[in-house]
Structure 1
Amino acid sequence: MPQPAPSLTNLSKLRIWQQNLNKSLASQNDFMNSLTPNFFDIALVQEPHVDWRGVSRGKRSFVSIYPPTHAKDQRATQSAIFVNTRLSSSSWAPIPILSPDITAIDLIGDFGTIRIINIYNDGNHNETL
């Protein structure tokens, strides 16, 4: 019998991996191969590789979250979040921020709400901030 998805209230710790992939396909593949669903809950990516179809490589064990602007201009996307499917979908929600440089989610549980914001800032300006 399959195990129910864990909620954030019964996790003893939240495991987050943050990585800038420099739009590299090799880096994206290596990152996804190393993103173990039994070890990581959330992955924050800056400069993901986006292929000719406008999608970034992901894993079946993680839900991909892109900025709302991704649908209009995939190549401009500089930020993505991957949420482990083992986390109940009722324990988190994407936050729509109209910037290709920012993705965000709310984590919801008995503890209240924790907001995780993934920001890409290229260092040449502070427009994202």
Structure 2
Amino acid sequence: TITDTEGYQLWIWQQNARKSWDMQMTTLHVMEQQYNIICLQEPHFDFQELTRATPAWNVVLPTSYRQVEQEEQEKDKVPRALTLVHERLSMNAWTQIEVDTNDVVAIQFTGGVGALNVYNIYNDCQHSETVENLERHFRGHQEGQVRRERREWEGDLWLGDFN
């Protein structure tokens, strides 16, 4: 739970769904009234490469998923990270951050006191590609990004399956 100075709370649930439809849907139904954000690793995708959510949740897939300019093998790879944002959070209060991998979903939440960048990460133990992509992402932010406005507070929160 994260609380800002105005008393607004951001409740976040993180879980590895192990590609299970039952686990994913149960989590969404059970957590619907308690949490604002659900970060899933290894979410369920069906044979048509579609995931499922209830109407209360906005589904946020990795920014690189299905992009035309991606290498063919990466473009068709099903995401291993999925973030759901409850509809009670105004869409004006959050924006997706671009990260060039199907294994990370990043969102910036803004409020009266500042901004929180939430990174939902699936880290494959067989290689370090996700870590390398994140390193490039953060290096690019440090070198080239100009902040739009000075915030009192800004932070990063990493959630995920770090086996």
TM-score clears 0.5: yes
Give the equivalent residue in structure 2 for 1:17: 13
- CA distance in 2 between partners of 1:40 and 1:11 (Å): 16
2:118 aligned partner, one-letter code? I
1:40 aligns with 2:35: yes
CA RMSD in angstroms comes to: 1.9
SS at match of 2:92: helix
**Deviation sequence 1:11-42 (CA, Å, 0-9, x none):** 53211000001112222222222222x21100
Unaligned 5+ runs, structure 2: 68-74, 132-163
Structure 1 residues 85, 74: closer, same or farther in 2, change over 3 A?
farther
- CA distance in 2 between partners of 1:99 and 1:62 (Å): 22
- CA distance in 2 between partners of 1:56 and 1:74 (Å): 14
1:104 aligns with 2:106: yes
In the superposition, the TM-score normalised over structure 1's length comes to 0.83
- CA distance in 2 between partners of 1:55 and 1:35 (Å): 21
Give the equivalent residue in structure 2 for 1:3: none
Give the equivalent residue in structure 2 for 1:26: 22
Count residues in correspondence. 121
Whether the 8 Å CA contact 2:98–2:106 is kept in 1: the answer is yes
Whether the 8 Å CA contact 1:50–1:74 is kept in 2: the answer is no
- CA distance in 1 between partners of 2:5 and 2:107 (Å): 16
Q: For 1:1-129, list aligned pairs within 5 A.
A: 11-36=7-32, 38-71=33-66, 73=75, 75-129=77-131
- CA distance in 1 between partners of 2:22 and 2:111 (Å): 36
In the superposition, the TM-score normalised over structure 2's length comes to 0.67
Instruction: Kindly name which structure, 1 or 2, has the bigger radius of gyration based on alpha carbons.
Output: 2
